[in-house]
Amino acid sequence: MANSSEVPDLVPCGSDEEDDDEAAWDEMEETSQPVQCLFCSKTFPSILETVSHAAEGHKFDLKILSKKYNMDTYSYIKLVNFIRMHNMGADELMVCKEPLWDLDMYLKPVLENDPWLMYDFEEDRVLSEPRNFTPTGYHVVNSEDGKVTLTEAHFRELQNNLEGLHMALAQKNDEIQILQGDIARMRSLSRALLEAGISDKSSVEADLDTVVKGIKLEDDEAYFSSYAHFGIHHEMLSDKVRTETYRNALLSNEKQIKGITVLDLGCGTGILSMFCAQAGAEKVVAVDQSDIIYHAMDIVRENKLEDQIQLIKGRLEDLDNIPKVDAIISEWMGYLLLFEGMLDSVIHARDHHLKPGGLLLPNRCDMSLVGLSDLERHNELIGFWEDVYSFKMSGLRKETVHVPAVEIARPESVVTTSFKLRELDLNKCTSRELSYCVPFELKALHTSGEVLLTSLAGYFDVFFDLDNPVSFSTGPLATPTHWKQTVFFLDEPFLLQPGEIIKGTFECLRQKKDCRSLKIYIQLEGKEKFQYIVS
């Protein structure tokens, strides 16, 4: 590193050395496409102009965020993709109490070849101190008397801060000399991350494949065995909201179903396959690993549909004799939408067996959260352990709170607006998106008095976006389904004022040791983060 007392030689305008430096910086600053702002639809010709716009127009201060969370390159990339995915405003980001984007899922680019991912934010942050120091754009010549003559107005400003310039030059001399190497490194890293986002062979995707496809069948038998008994199928078939919605989606859209080949994934008793045949499907390939498929074979024969419906026993990921199909139908949803992890199999089927432009039934789902007030139920389940025949059992109270209840919430217990946590487009979503962390807001619905918030309830909605759209909801204000709602009881209920807004974060993670289960973290603003296990 250069001694701070030595002033480096300044080169005249148009020199080769200066041109090389300038070209290196231009490589970073210029893009071959307009750069879109993270917070609005405006575009700019270069990333640095876009960064400047974000700072001035939206008060987005990367320097503050970087210092606040000790961000590195990976943290920055996660931040960009988090903003792209959730459309969070800069004002919200700047007041976050924790880095909501600090999940590996946000390493996947939301926009392909996003110029923001090529931006070396660490270098820009350092070089911004002192503010006026920039390695290009300032040209000088040596006059005959040996004095430095400034030939650009911008560089004249640095004369007033020459001491700061010398310090910056001393601190950054080594970095400037290897600037081109740094740029190449940054571009290489960004390119690798972009490729990881679209490659099935990426390390992140490989980990997910280990979770889903890599499970040994013998280790997964308990899951499939749970569907072998007729009892669970009686419960599902008795759910008219569920079953009739699927039937209506097919029969009211016969023009789209007639003559096509359909894959029924997780066919169970074969009811959806028979609906497809009834709607005019030419061929239905029905797959299930559970022993219930033997009953499905009998049912299909009993209804004389064996010419249209082919039943195959096996786990889809292990089968190599599944043809390309025109449509995939599956009732894969679990409690809290993602419990059981069957969506992974739907994604696998989509990527390997669905023809281009084929149908997914359903094709869209969303997950929501709402606040409840039901002190009676809270006392029954949580408060019970405070006085068990005059004895306290606090340890069991804590255990009970950590396990959400799957039950039907009374409609009158709903005391807040709902908040959509997640929306999944099944035509595009990946397994990475099944783990997420999002901020949420719930607004109290009452206009007078106080209401005690005792729990939060998670539910989902399902959509068939066909020529004649069909949908259903599992929310507490809709007709009850066998999915009910997933109720997260608060350890300590608290009062809500009229119109009060509750803020928090909801994090959904798949458990590493049990990929079909979920780990949920809920933190309300000003409250302790609480963990729940859905298993």
Distance separating alpha carbons of residues 152 and 146, to the nearest angstrom: 18
Distance separating alpha carbons of residues 7 and 142, to the nearest angstrom: 13
Q: Which tokens sit at 346?
A: 């739907």
Q: What b-and-e string marks burial along 9-39, b requiring 16 or more CB atoms within 10 Å of the CB?
A: eebeeeeeebeebeebbeebeebeeebbbbb
Distances 9 to 140, 149, 173, 332, 405 between C-alpha atoms, Å: 10, 13, 12, 69, 72
Nearest 5°: phi and psi at 441?
-135, 135
Distance separating alpha carbons of residues 318 and 321, to the nearest angstrom: 9
Distance separating alpha carbons of residues 63 and 80, to the nearest angstrom: 14
Sheet containing 530-534, strands listed edge to edge, beginning at the edge strand earlier in sequence: 436-443, 501-510, 518-524, 530-534
Q: Is 331 a catalytic residue?
A: yes
Distances 86 to 81, 116, 422 between C-alpha atoms, Å: 9, 16, 9
Q: Find the catalytic residue in 340, 380, 507, 525.
A: 340
Long-range CB pairs of 2-5 (<8 Å, 24+ gap) are: 2/169, 2/170, 2/173, 3/170, 4/166, 4/167, 4/170
Distance separating alpha carbons of residues 321 and 353, to the nearest angstrom: 10
Nearest 5°: phi and psi at 451?
-130, 140
Q: Which tokens sit at 340?
A: 């059981």
Q: Find the catalytic residue in 18, 29, 123, 331.
A: 331
Half-sphere exposure of 371 (CA within 13 A, CB side): 27
The alpha carbon of residue 265 and the mean position of all alpha carbons in its chain are separated, in whole angstroms, by: 24
Distance separating alpha carbons of residues 482 and 286, to the nearest angstrom: 23
473: helix, coil or strand? strand
Which residues, listed in sequence order, are joined to residue 149 by a DSSP beta bridge? 141
Distance separating alpha carbons of residues 429 and 385, to the nearest angstrom: 42
User: Could you identify the residue written with the tokens 């009732």?
Assistant: 331
Distance separating alpha carbons of residues 318 and 300, to the nearest angstrom: 24
Please say whether the dihedral angle defined by the alpha carbons of residues 212, 218, 223 and 224, taken in this order, is positive or negative.
Answer: positive
Q: Is 340 a catalytic residue?
A: yes
Which are the catalytic amino acids?
Answer: 331, 340
